[in-house]
Amino acid sequence: MKIAANTLARNAPCWCGSGKKFKKCHLGKEQSPPPIHENKTQTQGKSIYIKTEEQIDGIRKSSQLTKKLLDMVEERIAEGVTTNELDQWVHSETLANGAIPAPLNYGHGKGRRRVPFPKSICTSPNNVICHGIPNNQALQNGDILNVDITCILNGYFGDASRMFIIGDVPDKTRKLVEVTRECLNLGIEQIFPSNRLGDIGHAIQQHAEKHGYSVVRDFAGHGVGIEFHEAPQVLHYGQPGKGEMLRENMVFTIEPMINMGSHECRILGDGWTAVTADGELSAQWEHTLLVTESGVDILTA
């Protein structure tokens, strides 16, 4: 998901969530969204941005705020809490820290059929793969929930998500959540200069399929930091030794979506919510990651 907050049209809903038009709310004010950093470097003619030290510092700070917001969710989430409450808490805390919730109003101006994302976080329960929209339905014992948070701090993006288990769940559900986290960690182990994106995807796919699960094909990780979505696309399946070579100071997410059943999905009528086609459970974990001289730095850890 990308956010258009940095290029909002005058008549678009304001990024702050007031319900007013941008021109009637924060247009021209000090707290309006900062411009995207323009210091971009292209590599081999592709839009892969090798970050500068200044940019890495900004992305790190934004990523640490995202971690802080997920920590807050972890402290407050419980049976009976609604995902709307989670959204409101994160929205308020994001603004209190001088940042902007990146998902809010994302999609404006992206075509007539694209409905701007209406909330500040994505909440994806049970059979929702990703991009679930917070609502007033209370969390129940036995639910699993992915909370995906991206904030923009001083023009830099930090993106991460976690799974949360509500109350008691069957062992097979808990195993799905745990194996999905293991998939993320195995993918992260493949990050070092000269390795390739296919090595990341292969490690994730092998582990998921070994446990009888499937890897979602329709969504992927992505470059991030000075824009919400950048190249490269980071697939969670693939062949070792294939794909883009990793370079020092690349920044991207790994965010495997692992299904208990088929990898196929469908999009609900709201234009955003992706659910498993067969109704089976899905899980996802995500980090923003920096390729270092000798390995990887998990910026959202």
Q: What is the CA radius of gyration of the chain?
A: 18
Give the DSSP per-residue string, 70-81: HHHHHHH--TT-
CB 66 within 8 A of CB 300: yes
Cβ partners under 8 Å of residue 268, min gap 6 = 274, 275
| Alpha-carbon distances, residue 112 vs 2, 109, 133, 271 (angstroms) | 16, 8, 20, 12
> How much is the pLDDT for 260?
98
Q: From 3.90.230.10, 3.30.1540.20, 3.20.10.10, 2.30.110.10, which CATH number describes the 47-298 domain? A: 3.90.230.10
Which residues of the chain have a pLDDT value below 50? 1-8, 15, 17, 30-45, 112
> How much is the pLDDT for 115?
86
The token pair at 187 is 């993918």
> How much is the pLDDT for 145?
98
> How much is the pLDDT for 46?
55
Strand partners for 146: 124, 163
Give the strands of the sheet with 230-234, arranged side by side.
230-234, 221-223, 251-254, 287-291, 296-298
179, containing H or E segment: helix 171-189
> How much is the pLDDT for 114?
66
End-to-end CA distance of the chain: 21
> How much is the pLDDT for 4?
33
Given the structure tokens 């000269």, which residue do they identify? 194
CB 69 within 8 A of CB 120: no
**Sign of CA pseudo-dihedral 109, 114, 115, 117:** negative
Which tens digits make up the pLDDT trace of 177-205? Answer: 999 999 999 999 999 999 999 999 999 99
Which tens digits make up the pLDDT trace of 60-71? Answer: 999 999 999 999
CB 248 within 8 A of CB 289: no
Question: Around Cβ 245, how many Cβ atoms within 10 Å?
Answer: 13
Q: CA 240: distance to chain centroid?
A: 24
